């Protein structure tokens, strides 16, 4: 497939918007400082293609009036911290054309790398103050179908907020009114405010998610593992397979003689963690951890305002040894995942924020590899890092010409150990696991992943 870029323009809010510096919370400024790519595919439209492009652009401009922070830029301040400069410089919109038909892509799951359909960003040569927070690429195929490459700054928003913007843009593009404006004040997560933590033991605890993950036994750094060739795949789990995993985990894990009912997320994550330990041939006493991202919107007291616009996620860590994970039941490993998740409450989130506020330099908790060659935490061999998109409203995005026929993550920046769980086809109960592993481990992982659903 060859994609030709035709025209790139900067789309700005249709009306004057508030200008100034917007404080970011600590949760905005740790973790990924790059952009998160997603791609949507649509069948051909009945309208003139020029009209389609103009409608997308004009509705985008209108929507940015309400979501004006996305038209701004980031600025660096002291202590490795960032703030958002609401200057209405705009979002980048690129028009492109592909020399293939949608049908030529065959099975989308077998073509998970859509890098040509997603806007590219030159982090090394473009100052952060000049990099748009949102970049879009609309690509037309020979059949008349088209794709939308959606690339948004993870400093500006998390998945829930990104999809809130996308759904509202689609509504406006259809000619409807905005349904729910964003809550733009991030002070609710106490950026710059006094501490609210009352339990000082929790406040000063060592948050494991900010410590380096375990190394392979006998190695003093992860450099060798970082250099290993990786590959990406997307594995489908039918509803029947998911329920088999849930049944096994629940049946072999009881507390006080009461069966424990695990979620789909917990059992699939546990199953992937055990499978990785087996197929990486880890020593039994090899320590391994799994990083888990948790949305805290409903875990705060009181809950965050509806449509809070920003990052409202924290990381937690589950740990174990390869030997105990492989020899233990699926329920035992699922219990480790649940235990890590259950500790995330209002007090825990506030203690995380206070821990970060007390750091002189936040850059040590940021993944700056693509920007400055400064390498953040590595959740490759012997570890994993999991993200769930199961609760994200990413399906059914209709700009006026019908819902998407497929959507998925842009996985071109994935590293060894990264995996993402998302829903399969709408309504069929299936799940998709998008996974990046070293080439030498991938085929064994796929074989064991499916085989052990039946055998465990």
**CA 153, CA 168: separation in Å to the nearest integer?**
18
CATH architecture of the domain with residue range 225-455: 2-Layer Sandwich (3.30)
Contacts of 188 (CB under 8 A, 6+ apart): 304, 305, 308
Of 115, 185, 345, 398, the catalytic one is: 398
Judged against a pLDDT cut of 90, whether residue 358 lies above it is answered with: no
- The rounded distance, in Å, linking the Cα atoms of 71 and 11 is 8
Give the end-to-end CA distance of the chain in Å, rounded to a whole number.
Answer: 41
Residue 357 has pLDDT above 60, yes or no: yes
Rounded CA gap, 14 and 214, in Å? 50
Known catalytic membership, residue 154: yes
Residue 56 has phi, psi (to 5 degrees) of -60, -45
On the question of a common fold for 3-189 and 225-455, the answer reads: yes
pTM for the model: 0.92
Q: pLDDT above 90 covers what percent of the chain?
A: 72
321 pLDDT band, cuts 50/70/90, is very high
User: pLDDT for 364-412, tens place per residue?
Assistant: 887 755 455 556 678 899 999 999 999 999 999 999 999 999 898 886 6
Among residues 66, 154, 164, 253, which one is catalytic?
154
Q: What pLDDT, on a 0 to 100 scale, did the predictor assign at position 200?
A: 42
Tens digit of pLDDT for each residue in 150-177?
A: 999 999 999 999 999 999 999 999 999 9
Range in 38-47, 129-138, 421-430 with the lowest mean pLDDT: 421-430
Task: Please provide residue 400's backbone torsions phi and psi, each rounded to the nearest 5 degrees.
Answer: 120, -5
3-state secondary structure of 406: strand
| Cα 194 to Cα 187, 190, 310, 411, distances in angstroms | 11, 7, 20, 39
Residue 398 is a catalytic residue = yes
Computed over every residue of the chain, the mean pLDDT equals: 90
Q: Which two tokens stand for residue 255?
A: 């507390």
Domains of the chain: which residue ranges? 3-189, 225-455
Give residue 253's pLDDT band: very low, low, confident or very high (50, 70, 90): low
Which residues partner with 144 through β-bridges? none
CB 286 within 8 A of CB 213: no
**Average confidence (pLDDT) over 102-124:** 79
The CATH class of the 3-189 domain is alpha beta
Mean pLDDT of 298-316: 95
């Amino acid at each position: 497939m060859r994609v030709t870029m035709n025209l790139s323009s900067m789309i700005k809010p249709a009306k004057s918007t508030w200008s100034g510096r917007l404080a970011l919370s600590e949760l905005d400024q740790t973790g990924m400082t790059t952009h998160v790519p997603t791609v949507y595919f649509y069948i051909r439209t009945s309208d003139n293609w020029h009209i389609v492009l103009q409608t997308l652009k004009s509705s985008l401009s209108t929507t940015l009036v309400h979501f004006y922070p996305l038209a701004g830029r980031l600025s660096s301040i002291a202590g490795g911290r960032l703030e958002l400069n609401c200057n209405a410089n705009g979002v980048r919109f690129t028009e492109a054309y592909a020399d293939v038909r949608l049908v030529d892509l065959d099975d989308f799951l077998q073509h998970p790398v859509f890098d040509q359909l997603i806007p590219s960003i030159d982090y090394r040569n473009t100052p952060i103050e000049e990099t748009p927070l949102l970049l879009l690429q609309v690509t037309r195929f020979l059949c008349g179908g088209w794709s939308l490459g959606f690339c948004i700054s993870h400093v500006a928003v998390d998945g829930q907020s990104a999809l809130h913007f996308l759904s509202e843009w689609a509504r406006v593009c259809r000619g409807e009114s905005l349904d729910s404006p964003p809550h733009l004040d991030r002070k609710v997560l106490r950026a710059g405010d006094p501490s609210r933590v009352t339990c000082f033991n929790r406040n000063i605890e060592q948050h494991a998610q900010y410590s380096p993950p375990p190394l392979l036994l006998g190695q003093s750094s992860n450099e060798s593992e970082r250099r290993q060739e990786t590959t990406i795949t997307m594995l489908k789990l039918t509803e029947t397979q998911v329920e088999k995993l849930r049944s096994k985990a629940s049946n072999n894990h009881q507390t006080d003689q009461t069966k424990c009912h695990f979620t789909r997320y917990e059992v699939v994550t546990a199953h992937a963690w055990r499978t990785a330990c087996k197929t990486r041939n880890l020593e039994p006493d090899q320590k391994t951890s799994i990083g888990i991202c948790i949305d805290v919107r409903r875990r705060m007291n009181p809950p965050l305002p509806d449509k809070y616009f920003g990052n409202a996620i924290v990381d937690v860590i589950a740990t174990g040894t390869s030997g105990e994970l492989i020899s233990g039941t699926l329920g035992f490993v699922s219990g480790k995942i649940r235990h890590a998740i259950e500790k995330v409450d209002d007090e825990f989130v506030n203690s995380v924020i206070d821990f970060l506020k007390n750091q002189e330099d936040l850059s040590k908790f940021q993944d700056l590899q693509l920007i400055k060659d400064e390498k953040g935490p590595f959740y490759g061999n012997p570890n994993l890092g999991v993200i769930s998109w199961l609760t994200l409203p990413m399906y059914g995005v209709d700009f006026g010409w019908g819902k998407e026929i497929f959507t998925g993550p842009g996985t071109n920046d994935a590293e060894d150990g990264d995996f993402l769980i998302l829903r399969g086809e709408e309504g069929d109960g299936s799940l998709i696991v998008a996974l990046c592993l070293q080439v030498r481990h991938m085929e064994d992982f796929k074989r064991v992943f499916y085989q052990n659903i039946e055998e465990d």
